[in-house]
């Protein structure tokens, strides 16, 4: 396994903390990023205690600058401003976006219309020199942090326009699912992967489960 130094931007939230845990357990070096270095260090301490791994915490920009792979795990609200503020630090990096632009109303979750096509494409537009990959959209934060199971009934779907970056990200997926991610094609497909999460949320509410995505027809 190739070991990476992975920054988790917004790593103080449940999804970022859960992914940080799984990546640290697999042996990657993880830097939790936050707007508050103190919050980042507090979450890093939780992940260190849980995993015994190499986990630190700092502000988002320092985290992004020190890593070779940057995972963006922030809400859609404020996404554009945050990415624009980090553009210099993200330039040239493999940037993974698992941001889901969703709205919620009385009928449940739904995908928002994004001018650039998706959150991942917005990141690519704002940071043309980054190698943006969409992935890890469909994993539950609860499953990532609270269970001990390898989530080997789920697939990580990966999309991006840089083949090598897609391969790097697909190779990170076994930390969570025990098997490589599935490269589904170009970055524009993030416009389909992101709102699919609204479907999973609908299933979760109706059946009281934590659903995920698994692709049939691929030999394992
Ligand atoms: N939760 C899930 O089960 C799940 C599953 C799949 C995908 N996702 C996606 O993962 C992303 C994060 O989800 P989450 O539930 O972890 O979100 P969250 O707790 O709402 O936010 C994560 C972190 O982002 C930072 N943040 C919040 N607002 C911000 C702003 N305006 N500008 C910059 N940073 C901000 C905060 O960190 P600081 O205050 O420390 O900076 C916060 O702890 C979302 O896009 C979501 O769609 C979530």
What confidence score (pLDDT) does residue 173 get?
97
Confidence at residue 149, expressed as pLDDT on a 0 to 100 scale: 81
pLDDT of residue 123: 99
Which pLDDT belongs to residue 219?
A: 82
What is the model's pLDDT at position 150?
A: 82
Q: Which atom of ligand 1 is nearest to the CA of 11?
A: 23
Identify the segments of the chain with pLDDT beneath 50: none
Alpha-carbon torsion (186, 27, 62, 33), positive or negative: positive
Find the 153 Cα to ligand 1 centroid distance in Å. Answer: 25
Contacts of 125 (CB under 8 A, 6+ apart): 116
Pocket mutation for ligand 1, best pick of 8, 9, 10 (most atoms within 8 Å of C-beta): 10
At the topology level, CATH places domain 5-207 in Rossmann fold (3.40.50)
Q: pTM, whole model, 2 decimals?
A: 0.98
pLDDT at 132: 99
DSSP assignment string, 173-212: THHHHSS--EEEE-GGGHHHHHHHHHHHHHHHHHHTS---
């Amino acid at each position: 396994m190739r070991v990476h130094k992975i920054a988790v931007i917004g790593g103080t939230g449940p999804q970022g903390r859960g992914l940080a845990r799984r990546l640290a357990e697999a042996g990657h070096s993880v830097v939790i990023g936050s707007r508050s270095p103190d919050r980042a260090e507090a979450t890093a301490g939780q992940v260190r205690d849980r995993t015994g791994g190499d986990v630190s915490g700092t502000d988002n920009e320092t985290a992004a600058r020190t890593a070779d792979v940057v995972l963006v795990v922030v809400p859609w609200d404020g996404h554009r401003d945050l990415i624009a503020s980090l553009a210099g630090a993200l330039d040239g990096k493999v940037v993974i976006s698992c941001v889901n632009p969703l709205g919620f109303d009385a009928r449940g979750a739904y995908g928002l219309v994004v001018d650039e096509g998706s959150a991942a494409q917005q990141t690519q537009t704002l940071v043309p020199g980054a190698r943006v990959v969409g992935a890890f959209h469909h994993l539950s934060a609860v499953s990532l942090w609270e269970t001990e199971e390898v989530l080997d009934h789920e697939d990580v779907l990966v999309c991006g326009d840089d083949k090598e970056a897609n391969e790097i990200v697909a190779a990170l997926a076994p930390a969570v699912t025990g098997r490589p991610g599935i490269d589904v094609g170009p970055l524009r497909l993030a416009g389909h992967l992101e709102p699919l999460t609204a479907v999973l949320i609908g299933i979760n509410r109706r059946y009281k489960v934590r659903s995920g995505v698994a692709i049939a027809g691929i030999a394992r």
